[in-house]
A and B are shown apart, each in its own frame.
Chain A
Amino acid sequence: MLQFTGLSEINGPLIALEGVPNAAFEEMVSLKMDNGENRFGRIVQIDGGRAVIQVFEGTRGMSLDNTRTTLLGHPMEMPLSPELLGRTFNGAGRPIDGLGEVFCEKSADINGKPLNPVSREYPRNYINTGISSIDALATLIRGQKLPIFSGSGMGHNKLAVQIVRQARLSGADADSFVIVFAAMGVKNDIADYFKRSFEEAGVMEKVVMFLNLSNDPIIERILTPRCALTVAEYLAFERGMHVLVIMTDVTSYCEALREFSSSKGEIPGRKGFPGYLYSDLASLYERAGIVEGCPGSVTQVPILTMPNDDITHPVPDLTGYITEGQIVLDRQLDQTGVYPPISVLPSLSRLMKDGIGEGYTRADHSDCSNQLFASYAKVQDARALASVIGEEELSDTDKKYMFFGRKFEEHFVNQGAQEDRPVEKTLDLGWQLLSLLPREELDRVSGKVLDRFYKPEEAAEKFA
């Protein structure tokens, strides 16, 4: 293999090499420094004989003449084997748990390839999380990508751990459920928290962890989700497992991408993020799904922190356009002590309608959730009015809405971090809460359904 001595330019995480005759776009390179240290990089731009390389571990200590470069002849690949389960890797996919290299069955390009829409299977079966506001109102479906939009300091990590601990598949598939966890730029103690929680829940041997901490190189952070998803696709589509991929924190990932883009001198788009942020995020999120004829599935729960709780920031905004819904956490609920602080109205699961009801959850599921959404939306109007004229002055109906809203948050949204609520109990609770309202206000459901579920006396007693 050809080796090149010296570099022609170093700029942030990027180096340039002149006189490379046969470099391939996105080819991997190995960089050997005079002190014996070995680093890896990837070719990101080619101009005739000049190749621009991004160095994963950063360029610290490199000079124009202390480095020798070898082209490795293949794009970045991830070694794959069922033995990955239970292992921990760094952001670039190398083991950091001291258990040695992975004996791999095969390896695959971490960029993956787009899944042909013709070969996709439309996701239909739900994942029970035991969390009322998710199961009833924004149901997680196998093969879906459903992000959690949070803000700094809110309990998104706790919620993610609870989802991992309680997520259950129905029936025969229950054994083949595994988790791929990708940490991108998270703090050391958060990574520890996840690790500890997985151990406590006794699921560690079913987890593949990729850790890129906030002080690790940003170039590795760009690779982290791709390595993780390559592993997920392998486990799902070649080993027939149901894989839940948790990626946190997508905002740090996007900031790494911005840093990299600006060091390449690219023209920035909104808030300095590169113009291709949408395509880049899509290349991650779209890797969720089910392949026709394969028993497995890839489900994604990306977590992102909205800077300044702003849902119109490019990262949550573009994410929302790609993912199939979102679960939004709300700071006000968080401050009032409601856990999980899920803001019900902006939360949504697009695939929910086909994965609930008879045969999946319960026949009355969609009626219950539609009516809860509609009624809770009216609570907001009543609250807005109350903040102007005072609660005392409200009409009787509006007062009932205020009461319903409080009880809904206290009893339905709020639940313990260890509480695993079955979906039947969740739906019954929903109907009980709706029974606090006058019957004619429940305009989204038919009389027949109401006859069965509308029990005002029972509700009044329970929530007195």
Chain B
Amino acid sequence: MQPVVYSINGPVITVEGATGFQMMEMVYVGEKRLIGEVINISSSRTTIQVYEVTTGLRPGEPVAGTGGPLCATLGPGILSNIFDGIERPLDVIAKQSGAFIPEGSDIPALNIEKQWDTTIRVKEGDRIKGGEVYATCQETSIIENRALCPPDLTGTVVSAAPDGAYRVFDPLVVVEDGQGVRHELCLAHKWPIRVPRPVAERRPIERPLITGQRVIDTLFPVAKGGTAAVPGGFGTGKTMTQHQLAKWSDADIIVYIGCGERGNEMTQVLKEFGELIDPKSGKPLTARTVLIANTSNMPVAAREASIYTGITLAEYYRDMGYHVAVMADSTSRWAEALREISGRLEEMPAEEGFPAYLPSRISQFYERAGYMENLNGTEGSVTIIGAVSPQGADFSEPVTQNTKRFVRCFWALDKSLAYARHYPAINWNTSYSEYLDDLAPWYAKNISPDFMACRQRIANLLLEENKLMEIVKLIGSDVLPDDQKLVIETARLIRVGLLQQNAYHRDDTYVPLPKQLKMMQVALYFYDRCSAVIAQNLPISEILETGLLDSIVKIKYDVPNDRLDLFDNYYKEIDSKLEQLVRQL
């Protein structure tokens, strides 16, 4: 007997009597074939969360199981595309149904008609095992797509097609496994989104994800294969930070998940990334980007799934040997989707109405990041950068607190910095990165042995300033001795000249690491030289009148990223101006 809908409560429906469903099985609900997932089974009832609007659904409409879990389709054609939370291509939906998204559109994720120029990498009689490459094709101008043997399959190639143009579901290779069963492999395959893709082993973390953002690369670096959280109240620039990282970080592939956020923002990413040129490859950024858009007015259950869809796509490219960065904006919306579904299931709530399994879900998500040795021997990484939107900008709320436990890099965005239009508004006192020790050898080897020492001095000056500001707030800065005033002035130089970065400036939007180092060194040189002359009783007010500070602050605009030789002039200027002052003394 065909199972039918019994009760409907928003996105949660139940089916009476049927026992054939599996946990997490994907099902089609109703005449419109809305996509849903089984989330609870008892002897009398099966509960299903539906990924689309259930308006107009009636009890008695059929529910059809698919026999398998909710899967992502993985194959060429993912990059440069924009999908909804369950990997339906939004541009195809727009072409079919117009500007507004209808429910029940069952559209394949990938273009199944498009032909890809494929090179077959195996021949008859070859042994093949899980993860090995059997075909490649050029997915975008910069990314080669590698079709990988399913992880659990080992066997012998019994037939292989010649090189040529193939569609994603055309059979290319037939493999016979140990039991004599034959498997047809094509360019695309499916993978359940809630199951991490297997790897050979986890490698230690030792390379930074270079973002070109000074406050991140210099003060709080994140590693390839690492995890970072960006918490901040509204208007503090979470999305802006995520956009900057998506544009400039040195990952091969970017998966951008807009989870429960604004529609206009996704449109912006779509338009802007199409126009921007990647500095490394000289191609549009879209050639390495895939967007998952579940805006805040799209169905809530699909919001919950969008995070998993995104991370599955990321793991797919990691297995090919690429470095992938996942931007999830915002994980709080995902947690709220969990809460909403949990409330409809009448589960016992834990903190602030969130379900008790919130921490375990968050940790499962972040643990899918890592620097891995893949089954085929290549190395790849998935880095996760999750935005968190704390309620009332209060970092003690459950999502922020639980995220903090499972990430190793924390970039706390600060309201007062944002109010003063100090961007990126990453607060240097409350942020941290646990990757400093892991990455120190890389910085020493590839940039300069001085890098970490400079970074530490910069951090110390900021800390010192923070302490002095307590005094200044009480009695004003006039009473401080000159050496402490110098700390305050240098810290201001660091804040304005180094930490503030202008995303709209041609040079300043991305700054390579050697320039970041030079900028630190100039600031520290200024501090050291001034300390020396102040010790000789030169009043600081005279130093301030030289305009040195101003010219160092403007280095970020005045020195182009490829003219590091210009830095010498600043050392000369500092020396000559200070010597002049000392002579006058």
- B393 an interface residue at 8 Å Cβ cutoff? yes
The answer to whether B56 and A24 touch across the interface, beta carbons within 8 angstroms, is yes
Closest residue of chain B to A45 (Cβ to Cβ) is B9
The answer to whether B297 and A269 touch across the interface, beta carbons within 8 angstroms, is no
A321-B516 Cα distance, complex, nearest whole Å: 33
- B420 an interface residue at 8 Å Cβ cutoff? yes
Q: Please tell me which one of the listed residues B54, B98, B300, B496 contacts residue A25 in the complex, with CB atoms under 8 A apart.
A: B54
The answer to whether A373 and B421 touch across the interface, beta carbons within 8 angstroms, is yes
The answer to whether A25 and B8 touch across the interface, beta carbons within 8 angstroms, is yes
User: A353-380: contact bitstring with B at CB < 8 Å (1 yes, 0 no)?
Assistant: 1000000000000000010011001100
The answer to whether A312 and B393 touch across the interface, beta carbons within 8 angstroms, is yes
A322-B333 Cα distance, complex, nearest whole Å: 11
> Which B residues lie within 8 Å of A237 (CB)?
99
> Which B residues lie within 8 Å of A289 (CB)?
263-264
The answer to whether B100 and A113 touch across the interface, beta carbons within 8 angstroms, is yes
Q: Please tell me which one of the listed residues A116, A313, A318 contacts residue B101 in the complex, with CB atoms under 8 A apart.
A: A116
Q: A115-B99, A278-B296 are in contact. Are A377 and B419 (CB under 8 A)?
A: yes
User: B384-401: contact bitstring with A at CB < 8 Å (1 yes, 0 no)?
Assistant: 000001011110000000
The answer to whether B389 and A321 touch across the interface, beta carbons within 8 angstroms, is yes
- B478 an interface residue at 8 Å Cβ cutoff? yes
Closest residue of chain A to B272 (Cβ to Cβ) is A122
Closest residue of chain B to A51 (Cβ to Cβ) is B59
A313-B56 Cα distance, complex, nearest whole Å: 34
Say which one of B70-78, B154-162, B279-287, B335-343 lies at the interface with A.
B335-343
A395-B478 Cα distance, complex, nearest whole Å: 7
The answer to whether A374 and B56 touch across the interface, beta carbons within 8 angstroms, is no
- B6 an interface residue at 8 Å Cβ cutoff? yes
How far apart are B113's CB and chain A's nearest CB, in angstroms? 20
> Which A residues lie within 8 Å of B99 (CB)?
115-116, 119-120, 237, 291-292, 294
- A47 an interface residue at 8 Å Cβ cutoff? yes
The answer to whether B263 and A115 touch across the interface, beta carbons within 8 angstroms, is yes
A102-B391 Cα distance, complex, nearest whole Å: 43
A412-B471 Cα distance, complex, nearest whole Å: 33
Q: A119-B94, A268-B353, A321-B234 are in contact. Are A22 and B101 (CB under 8 A)?
A: no
Q: Please tell me which one of the listed residues A118, A269, A317 contacts residue B353 in the complex, with CB atoms under 8 A apart.
A: A269
- A174 an interface residue at 8 Å Cβ cutoff? no
Closest residue of chain A to B91 (Cβ to Cβ) is A118
A274-B353 Cα distance, complex, nearest whole Å: 9
The answer to whether A116 and B94 touch across the interface, beta carbons within 8 angstroms, is yes
Mostly, the A contact residues are: mixed
> Which B residues lie within 8 Å of A314 (CB)?
391-392
The answer to whether A45 and B8 touch across the interface, beta carbons within 8 angstroms, is yes
Closest residue of chain B to A372 (Cβ to Cβ) is B421
Q: Please tell me which one of the listed residues B6, B94, B267 contacts residue A121 in the complex, with CB atoms under 8 A apart.
A: B267
How far apart are B260's CB and chain A's nearest CB, in angstroms? 7
The answer to whether A377 and B339 touch across the interface, beta carbons within 8 angstroms, is no
Q: Please tell me which one of the listed residues B90, B336, B349 contacts residue A118 in the complex, with CB atoms under 8 A apart.
A: B90
Q: A45-B9, A320-B234 are in contact. Are A117 and B54 (CB under 8 A)?
A: no
A49-B60 Cα distance, complex, nearest whole Å: 10
- A419 an interface residue at 8 Å Cβ cutoff? no
Q: A289-B264, A317-B392, A373-B421 are in contact. Are A117 and B82 (CB under 8 A)?
A: yes
The answer to whether B296 and A322 touch across the interface, beta carbons within 8 angstroms, is yes
Say which one of A60-68, A127-135, A178-186, A381-389 lies at the interface with B.
A381-389
Q: Please tell me which one of the listed residues B55, B91, B264, B476 contacts residue A120 in the complex, with CB atoms under 8 A apart.
A: B264
The answer to whether B56 and A112 touch across the interface, beta carbons within 8 angstroms, is no
- B270 an interface residue at 8 Å Cβ cutoff? yes
With an 8 Å Cβ cutoff, the count of chain A residues facing the other chain is: 83
The answer to whether B235 and A346 touch across the interface, beta carbons within 8 angstroms, is yes
> Which A residues lie within 8 Å of B392 (CB)?
312-314, 317
- B102 an interface residue at 8 Å Cβ cutoff? yes
A118-B297 Cα distance, complex, nearest whole Å: 15
A23-B82 Cα distance, complex, nearest whole Å: 36
The answer to whether B391 and A377 touch across the interface, beta carbons within 8 angstroms, is no
How far apart are A40's CB and chain B's nearest CB, in angstroms? 16
Q: A23-B58, A48-B6, A317-B234 are in contact. Are A393 and B264 (CB under 8 A)?
A: no
Q: A116-B99, A268-B353 are in contact. Are A46 and B268 (CB under 8 A)?
A: no
Max chain A Cβ within 10 angstroms of own Cβ: one of B99, B340, B475: B99
A115-B293 Cα distance, complex, nearest whole Å: 12
- B575 an interface residue at 8 Å Cβ cutoff? no
- B506 an interface residue at 8 Å Cβ cutoff? no
302-337 of chain A: CB within 8 A of chain B: 312-314, 317-318, 320-322, 324-326
How far apart are B388's CB and chain A's nearest CB, in angstroms? 11
- B568 an interface residue at 8 Å Cβ cutoff? no
- A27 an interface residue at 8 Å Cβ cutoff? yes
- A287 an interface residue at 8 Å Cβ cutoff? yes
> Which B residues lie within 8 Å of A144 (CB)?
264
> Which A residues lie within 8 Å of B563 (CB)?
none
- B16 an interface residue at 8 Å Cβ cutoff? yes
The answer to whether A116 and B16 touch across the interface, beta carbons within 8 angstroms, is no
Max chain B Cβ within 10 angstroms of own Cβ: one of A25, A113, A384: A25
> Which A residues lie within 8 Å of B91 (CB)?
118
A141-B474 Cα distance, complex, nearest whole Å: 42
- B182 an interface residue at 8 Å Cβ cutoff? no
Closest residue of chain B to A382 (Cβ to Cβ) is B476
The answer to whether B90 and A48 touch across the interface, beta carbons within 8 angstroms, is no
Closest residue of chain A to B492 (Cβ to Cβ) is A443
- B577 an interface residue at 8 Å Cβ cutoff? no
Closest residue of chain B to A314 (Cβ to Cβ) is B391
- A172 an interface residue at 8 Å Cβ cutoff? no
A378-B258 Cα distance, complex, nearest whole Å: 35
User: B258-299: contact bitstring with A at CB < 8 Å (1 yes, 0 no)?
Assistant: 101011101110110000000000000000000001011110
Binding site for A on B (CB under 8 A): 6-10, 16, 53-60, 82, 90-91, 93-94, 98-102, 233-235, 258, 260, 262-264, 266-268, 270-271, 293, 295-298, 300, 333, 336, 339-340, 343, 346, 349, 352-353, 389, 391-394, 419-421, 472-478, 496, 504, 547, 550, 553, 557
Binding site for B on A (CB under 8 A): 21-27, 45-49, 75, 109, 111-123, 143-144, 237, 266-270, 274-276, 278-279, 282-283, 285-287, 289, 291-292, 294, 312-314, 317-318, 320-322, 324-326, 345-346, 348, 350-351, 353, 370, 373-374, 377-378, 384-385, 388-389, 393-395, 398, 440, 443-444, 446
Task: List 21 interface pairs A-B (beta carbons < 8 Å), by A numbering.
Answer: A24-B57, A25-B58, A26-B55, A46-B8, A75-B55, A114-B100, A114-B263, A114-B297, A117-B263, A267-B349, A269-B343, A286-B296, A314-B392, A317-B393, A318-B391, A324-B264, A346-B235, A374-B421, A377-B420, A389-B474, A395-B478
Top 7 closest pairs, chain A to chain B, by CB: A312-B392, A282-B296, A377-B420, A320-B234, A286-B297, A119-B99, A117-B266
